[in-house]
Amino acid sequence: MTIIRSTVGLGILTKEVRTRKDLTFFEKILICELDSLTNNVESSTDISNEELSELYGVSESTVKRAIKKFEKLGFIEREVENVNYINRRKITVKR
């Protein structure tokens, strides 16, 4: 799969995220990427775990764990809707 999604490239890595000891370097970069994707006209993103794993060269399960962790820590909100038996996820970064 080829990544065709273009990001603004301007994600915010807040001091709160940057100084957390319970986040890995990858998780800090990933939350910054999600911020970049939701920092434009759209307030949420539907980027898939597959796209993120390919972009950063990590497994989909690594991305999935990070997304769940962000939700548990209150950094993001995740909304899943079922359209024609296909689950679509939207992620919103809390600012």
pLDDT, tens digit (0-9, with 9 covering 90-100), for 27-81: 999 999 998 888 765 688 989 999 999 999 999 999 999 999 999 999 999 998 8
What domains can be seen in the chain, in order of their start residue?
15-93 (1.10.10.10)
pLDDT value at position 80? Answer: 87
pLDDT value of position 4: 45
Pairing of β 86-93 and β 76-83: antiparallel
Report residue 14 as tokens: 């807040």
What integer pLDDT is reported at residue 3 of this predicted model? 45
Terminal-to-terminal C-alpha distance of the chain: 31
